[in-house]
Chain A
Amino acid sequence: MSQRFTWIVVVTLLAAAALILRLHRLQVREHERWADLAIDQRGGIFTLPGERGRILDRNGIVLAEDEAVIDVSVEPSAFRELSVLHALADALVLGSEVPDAEAVRWRCFTNPAKAVEDLSRIRAPQLEELVLRMQPLVPPRGTLPLRADEGPQRWKRCLRLLGVELPQAQDRGEWIQREGMNLAARCGEELKLLSDLARVRGADLPAFLGELKSLSAREEAWKQGQIRRELREVAALDAFGVPSPDLEKLGGETWREMVCDAALPFADEDAASRALAESDAWLSGSIALPWALAAALGDRDAVEVARLAKLGAQDPDELLDHWAQSVGLNNMDPELRRRRERDLRGRWRRGRAFPFATALPSEARLLFTGPGRLESKGFRIEPRLTRRSLPATAATSTLGLLLGGVARQSGEPTLARSVEADRHDALRASAGQVASGTPGGVLLTAPRHGQDVRLSLDWDLQQAVERALDVAHETEPMALVLLDPATGAIRALVTAPVSKDRDAALHARLVLEEERTVLRRILGRGEGWARQRLLALSDSGAGSASEAALLERWQGSAPLELRRRLDGVGEALAMSPAFHRAVDIPEHLPPGSVFKAITVLAAIESGKMNPESVVECVQTTERAFLRCKGHGSLSARKALQVSCNAWCYEAGERLGIEAFVDWFQRLGLGEPVPGLLPRERRLFQEIASDDARALAIGGGSLRIAPVRAAALAASLATGLRVTATFLHGPTPSFAPLRVGAATLSLVRAGMRDVVLPGGTAGQVAGLQHFRIAAKTGTADYEASGGERLNQAWFVGYAPADPGETPRIAFAAVRAHTHDKGADAAPLVARALEALARTHPGERWW
């Protein structure tokens, strides 16, 4: 070979060697480093939160679940048209409450089979006409991105995916008039979700729809949960920015199709077309919001939208007003609000990002993003999961006290005594990891979702009872429990008063309890302690500012003043709507005479008294709890009927404290109530030093939550050691009470007599209609200011006729009242009527 060519060969070989060596270094020796960088640059590793388990009622109604929402921050410096920002702020206040989108989402998530049923209605021949009706949304000048030919094509594609043959145009009829655009919009949303699920399942959509339809009833219940979980995972993937090519194909290549699919209701079509045609200026920048804005406003006149957008004002004050409403500033403490507004104004001036809207449905992301993007110029969108309960009503506010909540940052339960806390280990989820950025994303670690918890609560019954008792307007403290005596399952738990703002009520309660703690300590440990504690707090900076403020306020006060204040705090707590009185025991809640049924049972069964033991009841002016009305000579049954203290004092004196403690334990008093109450440990310590006679009539240190009182009634009704439970589960097997049949029969007879003429509830109008057995109780105590008030109880079961199986046990209490025990009976009557209404055809009494 020519030597001259040799130089070219040598240079080539040297270059090849250099390249190969370089490749070896990059691809073999440094591969890990570049692979890590590749993952980071592809969008990074996202934490995919696991979904906390749902809380359901016994029939599967979702009471609490996680929901994917977004928090949106604004970066004003990135905006080009502030008028759009203005209009968006206004729209979002309304946009977050779009009912149709909400209904669609709930239906899809709770009942996919129903969604399929709706989708099958698309086979109606008027569909093509429906598609054509979408055309008017395109303004004449074509200034919007939606092209004239996109509508029918998109829907035809949807239909093909559904396996639906597009019918010939036929008579339109009233179907179009009735269903209108919403069905078309819902079709898109459900189609997207169901198609995503089909993709997750590895099936094509028509086959998957067929699978849904063929589910048996029993399987369906399980699969709906499973399906819903998968839907949520896909939706969460979407919400957390993991792009999916299938989603993009289904939603169309453009964001405007995705807006359609978000099931946003449309405004009046002509008005929307007019307004949008006149608003070319809105389409500036990379945010094509106006069309979506008009859609999001629902039945608002779209022309109004145009007017708002053309304000052109760059006034932070007006804008801040809108945002104040959307981020809940209006509900804030005034000082906190002022500080927050100062912060917002400062950020606005500096062009820095600040929160714009929180906890919007994840579909609202479409209002902010541009074509095929996950982010938007000017907005920062942060997805997260939030705990969502049923919309706030009187019923749900009480339920909220029982369920509790979950802290956003830590994911830990917010209420120590709540279902969320009690079942936290089962409900808790663990996060997964997603490497986002590549087509489809890469699920590195699948999130582990929490287990669902099913309560024994009957939500429909709960609402019916609350309506029957008018809990929403009740101002006096009361509680009522309905319980299944065979299983101990709690069917309804009612409390009053209620507060629509559960968090505010809880906050107030915490403040009062903190003050009560400080007052007790000052009273117990003296003023010197208060001064030292105050010094310690100011030196160390530990403790709360409120504790320091309380110490400063009360440290120099006289004991009498402290006690008055303590009484006042106690009373405020007693009236607080932040307690669920069916389970919580504020200051003064002794059971009173309802415990006489236990006293009679214990005394007779232990042989201390016999059924025919006659005690002379004489009116007396001795110590309060020894008083009675002078019933004359009474046997056990009669003593129960008239609630005679004298008979029970005698029985109590003979029994003694230890026997009472033993009987309370045999009856399961103090047992934990799964999902609601822990084991009651202090009770037996406190009553150990009580006067047995006081215990015999339900006084002394005895405290009992109504839910346990209902369980006691169930025990008497069934002869078993019934323990209440708030959790749904297999039928438990309760141990027998080891009480003689005759004794039980006597006690039950006495309780039946209570509601008959001559009994303590015999005068209650209409009560005889119900064949119930019950015991009244009126426990009085001294409230603040020296006033004597009562806890009025009514505890029992139904039906109560001998030989009939009891089907419902109840406990009702009116607290902080002048009422007697019998005055709580109408609560039970109304509750039983509500029970009959919600479960017709069954014999409850």
Chain B
Amino acid sequence: MVKLPDAVRRLRNLDAPLLLVSAALLFMGWLLQSAAGGGDPALAASWLRWLLIGTFASAVLVVLPLPRVLTAAPFLYGLGLSLLVVVKVAGPVINGSQRWLPLLGRGLQPSEFMKLFTLLMLAQLYRTQRLRSEIQDWLPVLVVGLLPTGLILVQPDLGTSVLFVPLTFAVIIVGGARWKPLLISSVVGLGVLFLLGGVLLEPYQKERIASTLHIESMSASQRSGAGYQLAQSLTAVGNGGTFGHGLGAGPCVQSGRLPYHHNDFIFAEIAEELGFVGSSLFVLLEAALVLLICRVGAVARPLSARVLCAGAAAILGAQAFAHMAVTVALAPTKGLPLPFVSAGGSSLLVSVLVLTLVQCVSVQRGRW
């Protein structure tokens, strides 16, 4: 066990820019969830509670040796898979899906934690196995990375399940896989997914895709059906104009016409209330987060540390950009929370912990 003073000294190696950017994102999240942002006080209080939990957990995590944390990965991964099975079998149906488990008085979302556990598992694989560039090396990685996808897809939760794809591929790419077999298998995989999508996707999921493709040409009555949320989101975004209506004063969002504007469509609220200037800055902030994570990973020596950072960048980046793309109808509606900003305790906790893992890489560089 590292002596406490030494561990504290190593905190000097925290990546300051990454810390600043993540603090800025968390601050934005707090503003939006709190009364200043027109939020529900109860939700804001819950968000703050989860942030505190995440901060506490991060404080413990950052001083632990990362290799020790990674040794727990198989257990955590197995636990996660079990919870996914349990939630499907016994979880309450809420809004037509089984995603939450009531634990400790809270509703926990196992799929969110599965992202973290999968990331740890993949990093552990690269730490303990000599995985290199050949297809036979990274196929197991693919399996490990995509196994939760199927379990999450049947909840159903298409949005979260899809996130495991960029996570896995980012890990494989940074892990050193050769391009040609990777590309071929990617194309094949996409084709299979496309074919399976017609079979596996629920009708409402297909409708969402169609709505996204045709949203701007849909009539008002059509917009009131399947395309309602997306139409409201576009209206809110466009209504923001250049400088927005001010925090907590977005007419479309605050009037309640946009469902789930506290989580799945919170970027629409940002866009309406902060305008083009504010929302563009937010996009750049998210991009900066990903770039800074990549910077940490690029200078890390152990391969497992690099893939850890790549996976973290993929999880946070893909989720953030997918969320934003949905609100502006660049992607089908998937119900993804915006990391660090959306309401939703599980997502916030996992995002904070993922970021903490990256900081661990920075803090513990050369000490693996």
Contact = CB atoms under 8 A, between A and B. Distances in A.
A8 B283 contact: no
A16 B239 CA distance: 21
A1 to B, nearest CB: 4
19 contacts: A2-B306, A4-B306, A5-B298, A8-B290, A22-B328, A23-B328, A24-B280, A26-B271, A26-B328, A28-B241, A31-B242, A33-B238, A38-B238, A38-B239, A38-B251, A38-B252, A41-B252, A437-B255, A439-B254
Contacts of B232: 41
Contact of A27 (B242, B257, B295, B313): B242
A13 B237 contact: no
B276 interface: yes
Contact of B330 (A7, A19, A35, A438): A19
Contacts of B325: 15, 18-19
Contact of B237 (A5, A27, A439): A27
A38 B317 contact: no
A34 B251 CA distance: 12
A510 interface: no
A42 interface: yes
Interface in B166-197: 170, 173-174, 176
A412 interface: no
Interface in A1-60: 1-2, 4-5, 7-9, 12-13, 15-16, 18-20, 22-24, 26-28, 30-31, 33-35, 37-38, 41-42
Contact of A42 (B255, B298, B321): B255
A12 B310 contact: no
Interface in B263-314: 271, 275-276, 279-280, 283-284, 286-287, 290-291, 294-295, 297-299, 306, 310, 313-314
A551 B275 CA distance: 72
B286 A16 contact: yes
Contacts of A437: 255, 257
For chain A, what secondary structure do more than half of its interface residues adopt (helix, strand, loop), or is it mixed?
helix
B73 interface: no
Given A8-B173, A27-B238, 20 more contacts: A7-B173, A8-B313, A9-B291, A16-B283, A20-B280, A22-B328, A23-B237, A27-B237, A27-B240, A27-B275, A27-B276, A31-B239, A34-B237, A35-B238, A37-B238, A38-B236, A38-B238, A38-B251, A41-B232, A439-B254
A586 to B, nearest CB: 58
Contacts of A18: 325, 330
Given A1-B294, A24-B276, A8 B235 contact: no
B176 A438 contact: no
Contacts of B355: none
B123 interface: no
Interface of A: 1-2, 4-5, 7-9, 12-13, 15-16, 18-20, 22-24, 26-28, 30-31, 33-35, 37-38, 41-42, 437-439
Given A1-B298, A35-B241, A437-B255, A26 B234 contact: yes
Contact of B276 (A28, A37, A439): A28
Contacts of B317: 8, 12, 15
A23 B280 contact: yes
Nearest to A35: B239
Contacts of A12: 287, 290-291, 294, 313, 317, 321
Contact of B271 (A9, A27, A35, A439): A27
A18 B325 CA distance: 9
B241 A8 contact: no
A845 B233 CA distance: 81
Nearest to A37: B235
B39 to A, nearest CB: 15
A414 to B, nearest CB: 39
Nearest to A29: B238
B214 to A, nearest CB: 16
Given A19-B328, A27-B275, A38-B236, A4 B173 contact: yes
Contacts of B242: 27-28, 31
Interface in B19-48: none
Nearest to A437: B255
Interface residues of B, number: 45
A814 to B, nearest CB: 67
B235 A41 contact: yes
For chain B, what secondary structure do more than half of its interface residues adopt (helix, strand, loop), or is it mixed?
helix
Contact of B279 (A7, A23, A34): A23
Nearest to B291: A9
Q: Which of A4, A7, A27, A42 has the most CB of B within 10 A?
A: A27
Contacts of B330: 18-19, 22
Given A5-B294, A438-B254, A27 B279 contact: yes
B324 interface: yes
A16 B170 CA distance: 18
B241 A27 contact: yes
Contact of A19 (B239, B251, B275, B283): B283
Contacts of B271: 23, 26-27
Nearest to A4: B174
Contact of A8 (B236, B275, B310): B310
Contacts of B276: 23-24, 27-28
Contacts of A16: 283-284, 286-287, 321
B283 A5 contact: no
A42 B257 contact: yes
Contact of B234 (A9, A19, A34): A34
B251 A42 contact: yes
Interface in B208-247: 232, 234-242
Interface string B248-262: 000110110100000
Nearest to A42: B255
A34 B235 contact: yes
A521 B238 CA distance: 68
Contacts of A41: 232, 235, 252, 257
A23 B313 contact: no
A26 B328 CA distance: 8
A27 B317 CA distance: 23
Nearest to B284: A16
B297 A5 contact: yes
A15 B321 contact: yes
Given A19-B325, A35-B241, A438 B251 contact: yes
A4 B297 CA distance: 10
Top 8 nearest A-B pairs by Cβ distance? A34-B238, A27-B276, A1-B298, A38-B239, A16-B287, A26-B238, A5-B294, A4-B174
A2 B174 contact: yes
A20 B280 CA distance: 6
A845 B242 CA distance: 80
A375 to B, nearest CB: 16
Contacts of A34: 234-235, 237-239
A19 B252 contact: no
A469 B330 CA distance: 83
B238 A31 contact: yes
Nearest to B242: A28
Contacts of B170: 8
Interface in B65-91: none
A16 B287 CA distance: 7
Nearest to B296: A5
Contacts of B314: 8
